[in-house]
């Protein structure tokens, strides 16, 4: 036994907060999916699609995403450094401040305070709050790693360090703005230049919130939960450095055929294609790791979460670069294909990996077993089916819409009015809502399982104290 | 050194930062320092206070979540929306509002496409114009007043010129007025180049090959109901647009051209979305309204 105690309370607090904001984000997602085919479900001023869509994306990226990343990273860092956090009290304040900031962020977005930068919608006072949150996180992570009791830094720590520095640079630069009041600002960047800065940020914040910290979880919890060591250390070194090198070049693939200079678009496409290699470095590493003992797929309920998670990561990182190509972009850009793509990454890769990590952590810190493997399996299949239906329907209708937009008669006139191309989306948008419901039910099974596990853990603890 | 890298977190952070900065500098910082990233068309004017207020509302309501403001240089897209977007059009947009999803149509060339009244009616009830539209209604904006004090601060931060009188006129304006004013200025720095339907010019003096054709009149009525009735009334009795029931001495060719190309600041062009046969069918139907 060790002579120190891990700060499990803060870790658990972040995980539960993350789940709470996740529920909010998912419910808003369901509502806006209905608004897409039933405009009567818009309730102005606070509950119109235009305002809610950013509540959905920010709630899930920052509420669910960051909450999970903060909590799980603290968990990983303590174990890999064989010591408690350097500043446990600061971590506790970090947790409180996080929830206050996310609540204020949600309120501000409902109120329409919006910088109109995708994934950087929050207005300047909240930007400052996010930066403070990040600094607290960085201080604790770096301090703990510096004072660690383990010589080597494991792969997960590399990804965590890269996440901390990259998000700081990206977030601060893209949010630079001149305030024009307490809740309104104008970006210091204008026009074409602001587009280039925004997508340098937008693409990479996906990279450094939805890729690198999730990879840190993957590299830590896959071996932990299966007992199989990572297949190749060398491959993970090559994959890590080439990933963080190439990522920052690629943002302009969001701006194909816009007035941004051609050379920027082309260079971004080239690096986007290159990015397949380091992404698949992790995919191959994951597959070979599990491949050394396939029986773990059967014996361990968590293995399939990680395997499917990394599979969707692999599919995502091939589909993404393909979309960057000019010919493909021409057809699918601006259509529903793109939400289909995004949700494969978020509902597939991110959620599967993060929930599996939580399934591992919660019983561990309560010194018990998971409440029900069966419930976990039900959760798994529901979110998998929900996500697949979501992505498939959006891909189909996206291609359809792209094709209808392009269709011309022999005399050069368009074959379809915009309304005709829009109304053909309706059946797919309805199916997408159905997919969302299935996914949500799956997440409810997850939440129930986590809740019951905590209850079981507390009951055990109580018995021990009584003894 | 190599062994140190994986043992020293500070060194690791420094090296990671440098690796991350290479791509950032080449793709983001360097272009920012070149002139090609800061172009401005000569015809581009700073926003007026009313237009800026409209743009603020556009951002507040998240219109850019469903509407793009950039036309790609692709044939079908230019035919649908108009001249493709130029780098120099956006110098006064902080930030750009190009968007990334077209749940609704692109708005890069919407300025001047419809009369003001069209926008007011459409904002109040989008489904009165497009039955299957999924756009939320924004009629509630007409109950909200503008705040000249706020707008003065916004104009100052943007460095746009304004006069005190201009600020006073805002007192009598609603948020809906502002939004419509913004709609009408989007994309107007680029001369509105109407999508030229290739063979249209020849038709101008042409006679309607489908004149009096009952089948064509029937098809024309269907087209009229879904494209024209919102402005011209269900039976051509007029509304936002003029009545079509009077016997006027317009030639078939003239009516064809009006439908095809639209009129400046009045009727939008429909030529890009209809082939010759459809337009002639409409002409036949419009004629049938006159004889009644």
Q: What is the pLDDT of residue A465?
A: 65
Q: What is the pLDDT of residue B196?
A: 42
- Give the torsion through C-alpha atoms of B188, B190, B196, B202, to 10 deg: 90
pTM for the complete prediction? 0.94
Distance from the B175 Cα atom to the nearest Cα atom in chain A, whole angstroms: 13
Give percent of chain A above pLDDT 90.
95
Q: What is the pLDDT of residue B195?
A: 41
What is d(CA A102, CA A100) in angstroms, rounded to the nearest whole number?
A: 6
**Contact call for residues B261 and B271 (beta carbons, < 8 A):** yes
**Contact call for residues A146 and B9 (beta carbons, < 8 A):** yes
Asked if B27 and A249 come within 8 Å (Cβ–Cβ), the reply is: yes
Asked if B61 and A112 come within 8 Å (Cβ–Cβ), the reply is: yes
Distance from the B49 Cα atom to the nearest Cα atom in chain A, whole angstroms: 14
Distance from the B59 Cα atom to the nearest Cα atom in chain A, whole angstroms: 6
Q: For residue B20, give the nearest of A166, A251, A422 by CB distance.
A: A166
Asked if B92 and A191 come within 8 Å (Cβ–Cβ), the reply is: yes
Q: Which is nearest to A81 in space by CA: A132, A10, A1, A148?
A: A148
Please indicate if any CB of chain A lies within 8 Å of the CB of B1. no
B157 chain-A contacts, CB cut-off 8 A? 178-180, 185-186
Domain B200-291 has CATH 3.40.50.970: no
What is d(CA A465, CA B4) in angstroms, rounded to the nearest whole number?
A: 46
**What is the DSSP code (8-state) at residue B101?**
B
Please indicate if any CB of chain A lies within 8 Å of the CB of B85. yes
DSSP assignment string, A120-132: --S-HHHHHHHHH
Q: Which is nearest to A50 in space by CA: A104, A111, A102, A103?
A: A111
- Read off the pLDDT of residues B8-21 as tens digits, 9 standing for 90 and up: 999 999 999 999 99
What is d(CA B254, CA A355) in angstroms, rounded to the nearest whole number?
A: 66
Residue A65 token pair: 């995403």
Distance from the B82 Cα atom to the nearest Cα atom in chain A, whole angstroms: 13
Domain A1-188 has CATH 1.10.240.10: no
Q: What stretch(es) of chain A map to CATH 1.20.210.10?
A: 1-188, 219-458
What is d(CA B262, CA B149) in angstroms, rounded to the nearest whole number?
A: 39
Q: What is the pLDDT of residue A25?
A: 98
Polymer length in residues for chain B: 292
Asked if B96 and A271 come within 8 Å (Cβ–Cβ), the reply is: no
Asked if B90 and A244 come within 8 Å (Cβ–Cβ), the reply is: no
Per residue of chain B (292 residues), give pLDDT as tens: 567 999 999 999 999 999 999 999 999 999 999 999 999 999 999 999 999 999 999 999 999 999 999 999 999 999 999 999 999 999 999 999 999 999 999 999 999 999 999 999 999 999 999 999 999 999 999 999 999 999 999 999 999 999 999 999 999 999 999 999 999 999 999 854 444 444 444 455 678 888 888 899 999 999 998 888 888 988 888 888 888 888 777 888 888 988 988 887 788 888 888 888 889 999 999 988 886 5
Asked if B101 and A339 come within 8 Å (Cβ–Cβ), the reply is: yes
Q: Which is nearest to B116 in space by CA: B237, B272, B241, B238?
A: B241
CA of A113: how far to CAs of A18, A105, B56, B137, B276, in Å? 23, 9, 10, 20, 47
CATH topology assigned to domain B49-185: Cytochrome Bc1 Complex; Chain D, domain 2 (1.10.760)
Asked if B22 and A37 come within 8 Å (Cβ–Cβ), the reply is: no
Asked if B157 and A180 come within 8 Å (Cβ–Cβ), the reply is: yes
Distance from the A187 Cα atom to the nearest Cα atom in chain B, whole angstroms: 5
Please indicate if any CB of chain A lies within 8 Å of the CB of B92. yes
**Contact call for residues A260 and A283 (beta carbons, < 8 A):** no
Q: What is the pLDDT of residue B250?
A: 80
ipTM: 0.95
List chain A residues with pLDDT less than 70. 1-3, 465-467
Interface test with A, best of B5, B16, B156 (most A CBs within 10 A): B16
How many beta-carbon pairs under 8 angstroms link A with B? 274
CATH topology assigned to domain A219-458: Cytochrome C Oxidase; Chain A (1.20.210)
By C-alpha distance, the chain A residue nearest B130 is A419
- State residue A408 phi and psi, 5-degree precision: -125, 150
Q: What is the pLDDT of residue B74?
A: 96
What is d(CA A42, CA B107) in angstroms, rounded to the nearest whole number?
A: 22
Distance from the A395 Cα atom to the nearest Cα atom in chain B, whole angstroms: 14
Q: What stretch(es) of chain B map to CATH 1.10.760.10?
A: 49-185, 200-291
């Amino acid at each position: 036994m060790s002579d120190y105690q891990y700060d499990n309370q803060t870790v658990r607090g972040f995980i539960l907060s993350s789940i709470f904001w996740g529920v909010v984000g998912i419910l808003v997602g369901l509502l806006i999916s209905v608004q897409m085919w039933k405009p009567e479900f818009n309730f102005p001023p606070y509950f119109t699609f235009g305002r809610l869509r950013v509540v959905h994306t920010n709630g899930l990226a920052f509420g669910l995403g960051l909450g999970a990343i903060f909590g799980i990273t603290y968990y990983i860092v303590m174990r890999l450094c064989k010591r408690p956090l350097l500043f446990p009290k600061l971590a506790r304040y970090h947790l409180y401040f996080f929830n206050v900031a996310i609540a204020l962020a949600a309120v501000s977005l409902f109120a329409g305070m919006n910088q109109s930068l995708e994934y950087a919608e929050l207005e300047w006072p909240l930007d400052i709050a996010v930066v403070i949150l990040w600094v607290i996180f960085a201080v604790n992570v770096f301090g703990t790693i510096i004072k660690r009791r383990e010589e080597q830094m494991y792969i997960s720590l590399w990804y965590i360090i890269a996440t901390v520095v990259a998000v700081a640079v990206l977030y601060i630069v893209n949010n630079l703005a001149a305030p024009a009041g307490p809740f309104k600002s104008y970006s210091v960047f204008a026009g074409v230049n602001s587009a280039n800065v925004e997508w340098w940020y937008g693409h990479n914040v996906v990279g450094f919130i939805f890729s690198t910290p999730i990879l840190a979880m993957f590299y830590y919890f896959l071996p932990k939960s299966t007992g199989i060591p990572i297949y190749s250390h060398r491959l993970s070194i090559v994959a890590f450095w080439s990933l963080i090198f190439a990522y920052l070049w690629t943002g302009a693939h969001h701006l194909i055929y816009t007035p941004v200079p051609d050379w920027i678009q082309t260079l971004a496409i080239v690096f986007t294609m290159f990015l397949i290699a380091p992404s698949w470095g992790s995919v191959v590493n994951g597959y070979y790791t599990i491949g050394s003992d396939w029986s773990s797929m059967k014996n361990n309920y968590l293995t399939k979460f990680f395997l499917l998670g990394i599979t969707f990561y692999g599919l995502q990182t091939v589909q993404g670069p393909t979309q960057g190509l000019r010919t493909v972009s021409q057809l699918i850009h601006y259509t529903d294909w793109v939400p289909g793509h995004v949700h494969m990454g978020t509902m597939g890769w991110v959620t599967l990996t993060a929930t599996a990590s939580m399934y591992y952590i919660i019983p561990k810190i309560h010194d018990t077993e998971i409440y029900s493997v069966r419930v976990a399996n039900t959760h798994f299949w529901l979110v998998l089916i929900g996500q697949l239906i979501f992505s498939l329907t959006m891909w189909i209708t996206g291609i359809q819409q792209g094709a209808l937009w392009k269709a011309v008669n022999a005399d050069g006139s368009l074959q379809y009015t915009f309304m005709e191309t829009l109304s053909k989306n309706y059946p797919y948008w309805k199916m997408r809502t159905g997919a969302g419901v299935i996914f949500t039910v799956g997440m409810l099974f997850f939440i129930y399982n986590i809740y019951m596990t905590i209850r079981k853990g507390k009951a055990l603890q109580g018995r021990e104290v009584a003894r | 050194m190599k062994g140190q890298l994986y043992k020293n977190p500070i060194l690791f952070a420094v090296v990671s930062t440098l690796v991350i900065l290479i791509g950032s500098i080449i793709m983001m910082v360097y272009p920012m320092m070149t002139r090609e990233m800061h172009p401005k068309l000569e015809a581009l004017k700073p926003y007026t206070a009313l237009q800026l207020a409209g743009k603020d509302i556009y951002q507040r309501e998240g219109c850019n979540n469903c509407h793009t403001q950039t036309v790609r240089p692709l044939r079908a897209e230019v035919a649908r929306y108009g001249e493709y977007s130029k780098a120099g059009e956006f110098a006064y947009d902080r930030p750009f509002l190009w968007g990334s999803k077209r749940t609704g149509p692109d708005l890069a060339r919407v300025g001047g496409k419809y009369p003001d009244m069209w926008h007011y009616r459409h904002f109040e009830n989008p489904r009165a114009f497009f039955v299957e539209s999924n756009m939320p209604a924004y009629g509630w904006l007409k109950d909200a007043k503008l705040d000249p004090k706020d707008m003065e601060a916004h104009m100052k931060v943007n460095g746009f010129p304004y006069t005190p009188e201009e600020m006073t006129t805002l007192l009598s304006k609603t948020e809906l007025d502002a939004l419509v004013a913004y709609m009408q200025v989007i994309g107007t720095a680029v001369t509105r180049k109407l999508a030229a339907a290739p063979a249209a010019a020849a038709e101008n003096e042409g006679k309607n090959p489908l004149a009096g054709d009952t089948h064509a009149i029937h098809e024309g009525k269907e087209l009229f109901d879904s494209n024209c009735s919102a402005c011209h009334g269900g039976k051509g009795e007029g509304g936002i647009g003029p009545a079509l029931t009077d016997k006027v001495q317009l030639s078939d060719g003239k009516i064809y051209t009006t439908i095809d190309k639209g009129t400046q600041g009045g009727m939008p062009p429909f030529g890009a979305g209809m082939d010759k046969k459809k337009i002639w069918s409409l002409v036949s139907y419009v004629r049938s309204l006159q004889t009644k």
